[in-house]
A and B are shown apart, each in its own frame.
Chain A
Amino acid sequence: MADLTSNFVGIKSPNPFWLASAPPTDKAYNVERAFEAGWGGVVWKTLGEAGPPVVNVNGPRYGAIWGADRRLLGLNNIELITDRDLEINLKEITEVKKRWPDRAMVVSLMVPCEEEPWKQIIHRVAETGADGVELNFGCPHGMSERGMGAAVGQVPEYIQMVTEWCKTYGELPVIVKLTPNVTDVRYPARAAKAGGADAVSLINTINSIVSIDLDKMAPEPTIDGKGSHGGYCGPAVKPIALHMVADIARDQETAGIPISGIGGITTWRDAAEYIALGCGNVQVCTAAMTYGFKIVEEMISGLEAWMDEQGHATIEDFRGMAAPNVTDWQYLNLNYVTKAQIDQDKCISCGRCHIACEDTSHQAITNIVDGKRHFEVIDEECVGCNLCVNVCPVEDCITMVEMAEGTDPRTKREIDPDYANWTTHPNNPSVMPEAAE
């Protein structure tokens, strides 16, 4: 049986599934329910300074987009950091950690971008017995207008400075949570590393307006006729997050920095993908907020089953295995040729592959053959783009098959078995022609 135990920057947990800093981790009641359900750890919802807590809106905080059958695909929120008193939070963190010593207890923090408040909050957290801190440099709404959250996360110098303070004034591992609301996530990641961060976690939520209420003519969620942007999360953001994780995992300056993967993780498979890109663990929020804490059971059993099937004894056995295969376009093998192939036994003749190809791509799929409705790939036209695979409603009905030898009927060129990429391609204007003898 696969061993799911996790040791992330010295923080141990029985499995790599943590709940991200968010409403599910705002108080002892929720966190204890999460631990009872089997979650390996939590990042306690972001604490602010001592004194009067922040206030939230009293109207709707969330907006969403849905797929079929109102399956929630994307969630956006305008909730701020914890609106509970600091002392109550610290007391509860202390008690919960004492009751659940084997679970990871990390505390998310966000105080003004000054040395003293950070020094104070770091000391207070250390007293709770928590396992680590996560610096919230990502919250994209409300707090950022006050010079915190994403306002810090978008300035690499601030990230480095605050990280250094936290490392100076405390012993606990420091995880820097990054905002995706930047052009190139490698710069904030490098700054975190330069500041001495033990790890980065990403992504925080994405600036978003999920929808416009066409009756009120205002963004949703709507507060008395107005709406502001919120932070977007859920299954819809996973591709964006994976890309940012990969960028950090393969950046020479940040390579090897521990990463806690966050963004739309809903199933064991999502988690395995993040780990394959190099993440040491994962954090989940929207899936729990959609289905409750029980989903962790599926995540645990699914990851175990897959690891057993693959022969991975521990998380470390497959962690980062996919990272070396993330490359730049220019290094992709241009001699690799595939053609779509339709399994006629599985085809249900919906015609979607045909119309997608016919209207929007390469006219490479028939719809009528010998006077009959029939869908078949025309190899002479197929560029191997994969669109038909993606629009087909039947799993594995259309597959991309490599053409390893012979002549590509489209280009009429012999298949070249050797690897060759754009950097050496004759059409590349930056390739210097070889000097004539």
Chain B
Amino acid sequence: MADIKSGRLDEARLQQRFAEVYEPLDRHEAHVESDRCYFCYDAPCVTACPTSIDIPLFIREISVGNANGAAKTILDANIMGGMCARVCPTETLCEEVCVREVAEGKPVKIGELQRFATDNLMATTDAHPFTRAAETGKRVAVIGAGPAGLSCAHRLAMHGHDVTIFEALPKPGGLNEFGIAAYKAMDDFAQAEVDFILGIGGIDIEYGKALGNGVSLDTLTADYDATFIGMGLPGTNELGLDGEDADGCIDAVDYIAQLRQSDDLSKLPVGRNVVVIGGGMTAIDIAAQTKLLGAENVTIFYRRGMENMNASQYEQDHAQKHGVTIRQWLQPKALHVTDGAVSGMTFEYTSGTNGSLRGTGETVSVEADQVFKAIGQTPASDLLAAAGITLERGRIAVDANRKTSHVKIWAGGDCVAGGEDLTVVSVEDGKLAAEDIHKMLSA
């Protein structure tokens, strides 16, 4: 009998456990840390940031007691600087190339300083740091109120254009609201950030509308001066094993969304023995969170070596620090189903390089009350292909300005080809597209 139940820990204890994962720097800590920055010339951290935030400048602004000025420097390059400060894998971006990382193995804590500055702005003022240009009368449609769409909408609104966002779900934020681990965005930060972004004015959101559901590219291109697609990856991959529809075999993306929308974490059902399949951020997020919710044994199974995981070393360490076991070179072979519910899994050992991964024939079976699938999300390729947009390996092909093959359509975020599926990259896509759209509309 599967041991799945809610309330393994009470709500207060759960809130505390989640809140303690990433505690912010206080003012003194931020000042001390900001003093470590060397204010490098042509700083490597800026080059490494997908949105090219002027990091030395904002850190210097913090060090001299101008945290809100620092926030403006950040938001000028990245309007989601607050969320990026929480979710960016800084250890593989700005902090990886910090000269103090190179010199001492201890980078300036850029992400935490960014969070300090942006949080300070949001806590101390309601005034939006940017003003909207005179209204142009031009109208732009944006599909998806996730990071790419919101970033694009904000920049367009700032330039004086009117933006309508079409969002499939009843709430804005995209993966910021439904996707990432709860402990990274406590206190409803994702919605607070959306409210902040919309504070520029000139942006309307129509909920419950998506491509193929009340919105078509034909009508948008006819009705609007330009269109931006930031629809993300609506589908998820399947294991392709018998029993995938059994109780307890769960899509990690769905469960995380449920967790994020929960008003009482103790109501969430969680197994005693939890198996997570995958090697990316979603796998880490679901594993760490089920552990925090009170699961006894949480094990990530990954079919290649840990060095091949999409989740960074830092994220792997983070999961392990919270008691998650990571097992490598094991691929799903069979789901064990008892009385309609998952009871365990069999994995097959693998070997080989990336190109030639193969099963060795040896297997191992484990007990599982819950099996979370975190093996990747998929684009709406058919829908987009039908609309006549050029795709590249199923995702939308775009140029350097994030323009698609269609003269009036731009795209960005996870739905475009060649991206890294990071919030910060989506924000940059939206910003670049908005600038290009603005250029076109101003011509």
Residues of A within 8 A of B (CB): 68-70, 348-352, 354-355, 367, 373, 393-394
Contact = CB atoms under 8 A, between A and B. Distances in A.
* Interface size grouping (class) on chain B: 10 to 19
Given A68-B35, A69-B32, A69-B35, A348 B41 contact: no
A348 B102 contact: yes
Contacts of B103: 348, 394
A351 B40 contact: yes
B265 interface: no
B42 A373 contact: yes
A355 B103 CA distance: 20
B35 A350 contact: no
A70 B32 CA distance: 8
B100 interface: yes
Contacts of B40: 349-352
Contact of A350 (B31, B32, B38): B38
A367 B42 contact: yes
Given A351-B41, A355-B41, A394-B103, 9 more contacts: A69-B35, A348-B99, A349-B44, A350-B38, A350-B99, A351-B43, A352-B38, A352-B41, A373-B44
Contacts of B22: none
A394 B103 CA distance: 9
Contacts of A68: 32, 35
Interface centre among A348, A367, A394 (most CB of B within 10 A): A348
Nearest to B32: A69
Contacts of B43: 351
A69 to B, nearest CB: 5
Contacts of B100: 348
Contacts of A373: 42, 44
27 contacts: A68-B32, A68-B35, A69-B31, A69-B32, A69-B35, A348-B100, A348-B102, A348-B103, A349-B99, A349-B102, A350-B38, A350-B40, A350-B41, A350-B99, A351-B40, A351-B42, A351-B43, A352-B38, A352-B39, A352-B40, A352-B41, A355-B41, A367-B42, A373-B42, A373-B44, A393-B38, A394-B103
Contacts of A69: 31-32, 35
A329 B359 CA distance: 80
Interface in B1-51: 31-32, 35, 38-44
B54 to A, nearest CB: 14
A350 B101 CA distance: 11
A69 B99 CA distance: 20
A70 B35 CA distance: 10
8 shortest interchain CB distances as A-B pairs: A351-B41, A68-B35, A355-B41, A348-B103, A348-B99, A350-B40, A350-B38, A350-B99
A352 B43 CA distance: 10
Interface in B285-341: none
Interface string B336-350: 000000000000000
A210 B30 CA distance: 24
Contacts of A351: 40-43
A68 B100 CA distance: 16
A65 to B, nearest CB: 13
A384 to B, nearest CB: 21
A69 B34 CA distance: 9
B40 to A, nearest CB: 4
A352 B39 CA distance: 8
B35 to A, nearest CB: 4
B97 to A, nearest CB: 9
A367 B99 contact: no
Given A68-B35, A69-B32, A69-B35, A354 B99 contact: no
A394 B99 CA distance: 11
A352 B103 CA distance: 15
Interface centre among B38, B39, B41 (most CB of A within 10 A): B41
Nearest to B36: A68
Contacts of A349: 40, 44, 99, 102
Interface string B122-146: 0000000000000000000000000
A373 B43 CA distance: 10
A389 to B, nearest CB: 15
B119 to A, nearest CB: 22
Contacts of B99: 348-350
Contacts of B39: 352
Nearest to A67: B35
Contacts of A394: 103
A183 to B, nearest CB: 35
A373 B40 CA distance: 12
Contacts of B35: 68-69
A394 B43 CA distance: 16
A20 to B, nearest CB: 30
Interface string B92-118: 000000011011000000000000000
B102 A367 contact: no
Interface in B401-435: none
A254 B40 CA distance: 48
A367 B102 CA distance: 18
A1 B32 CA distance: 40
Interface string B252-284: 000000000000000000000000000000000
A350 B43 CA distance: 7
A395 to B, nearest CB: 12
Contacts of A348: 99-100, 102-103
Interface string B56-100: 000000000000000000000000000000000000000000011
Contacts of B31: 69-70
Contacts of A352: 38-41
A354 B38 contact: no
B25 to A, nearest CB: 14
A351 B43 CA distance: 8
A68 B59 CA distance: 13
A68 to B, nearest CB: 4
A349 B44 CA distance: 9
A365 to B, nearest CB: 10
Interface centre among A70, A350, A367 (most CB of B within 10 A): A350
A68 B32 CA distance: 7
Nearest to A397: B103
A373 to B, nearest CB: 7
B375 to A, nearest CB: 39
Contacts of B41: 350-352, 354-355, 367
A69 B35 CA distance: 7
B413 to A, nearest CB: 31
A124 B166 CA distance: 92
A351 B32 CA distance: 22
A373 B100 CA distance: 16
Nearest to A375: B41
A348 B40 CA distance: 10
A394 B38 CA distance: 11
Contacts of B42: 351, 367, 373
A350 B42 CA distance: 8
Contacts of B32: 68-69
Contacts of B44: 349, 373
A337 B44 CA distance: 34
A95 to B, nearest CB: 43
B29 to A, nearest CB: 11
A311 B344 CA distance: 76
A373 B32 CA distance: 28
A342 to B, nearest CB: 14
Nearest to A367: B42
A232 to B, nearest CB: 22
A255 B78 CA distance: 65
Nearest to A68: B35
Interface centre among A349, A354, A373, A394 (most CB of B within 10 A): A349
A111 B43 CA distance: 59
A367 B41 CA distance: 9
A198 B26 CA distance: 55
A69 B63 CA distance: 10
